[in-house]
Structure formats: structure tokens, C-alpha cells
Amino acid sequence: MPTILILEDDASARNALVGMLRDLFPRTRVFATRVDASSGIADGDDAVTLVLTGLAAVEEARRRLPKSAGVIALTRDMGPDTLLRAEALGVTASVRAPATSERLRQVLEPILGRVEASGARDPD
């Protein structure tokens, strides 16, 4: 089962993202924490498929999670410099914040579909 981790300090934004993603992808496990609480995530936790976080936390997410986990950067600025920075950090995709349900579906559906097609089993 694909798993999405949301690293977001704002509780209302965090809760909104969790709700949207659970509605969009009911066969996906979604959980969230504050960015500063991400140190509690086990190094190399291979259960995480995707991480949604701001650009400032991308490097920490990359250090703490498996290389196979995709990272989606949530950013208010979608200018060329920001997108180049995101690319340099190795993000899978960038999404303008605040993210809409439709945009999250467009960006995440192909990624999650590849994960499910690759043979990831549903443990239930």
C-alpha cells in the first residue's frame, strides 16, 4: 500500500492536506507531522512512498527517508529560480501552495499508480 507523509508545520494546512489526500486516494495510507518532528521518523523508513513538504524541508526529508521515496515540494513561488532550486534538490514535482485537490490528483495519481502497478501489496 502506498504511503504519503506530509511534513507541514501549520496544523490547519496539515489537516486539510490529509483530508484531501485520503479522499483522493482511499487505498493510500496518509499521515502527517510537523517538520521539526520529522526527526522521529525512522532513518530509511521504507514504508514511505511520497513526502509532501516545503522546499526548506526537502533536504531533511531526503536524509531521513529512503532514496526511493518521491518528494513533492509545496511552494507558493513557482518562479524559475524556485523551480531550479527544487530540481537541484531532486524533488519529483512541485505543487503551488495552497494545493488544490485537482492539482494534487494530477501530480500524485501517476506516481501512486506506478507504485501500485509495481507490485506493492495491500497488507489488509
pLDDT band at 108 (very low <50, low <70, confident <90, very high): very high
Evaluate whether 22 touches 30 at the Cβ level (below 8 Å). Answer: yes
Enter the C-alpha cell of residue 78: 513557482
- pLDDT per residue over 12-60, tens digit each? 999 999 999 999 999 999 999 998 776 556 544 558 899 999 999 998 8
**Around Cβ 77, how many Cβ atoms within 10 Å?**
13
Strands 50-54 and 70-75, by their bridges, are parallel
Q: Taking Cα atoms as reference points, which of 89, 1, 106, 88 lies closest to residue 53?
A: 89
Whether residue 61 lies inside any domain: the answer is yes
Whether residue 12 lies inside any domain: the answer is yes
Whether residue 63 lies inside any domain: the answer is yes
User: Alpha-carbon distance 96 to 45, whole Å?
Assistant: 27
Look at the chain and report how many structural domains it folds into: 1
CATH number of the domain within which 79 lies: 3.40.50.2300
The whole domain housing 60 covers 3-105
Whether residue 96 lies inside any domain: the answer is yes
| Position 122 pLDDT exceeds 50 | no
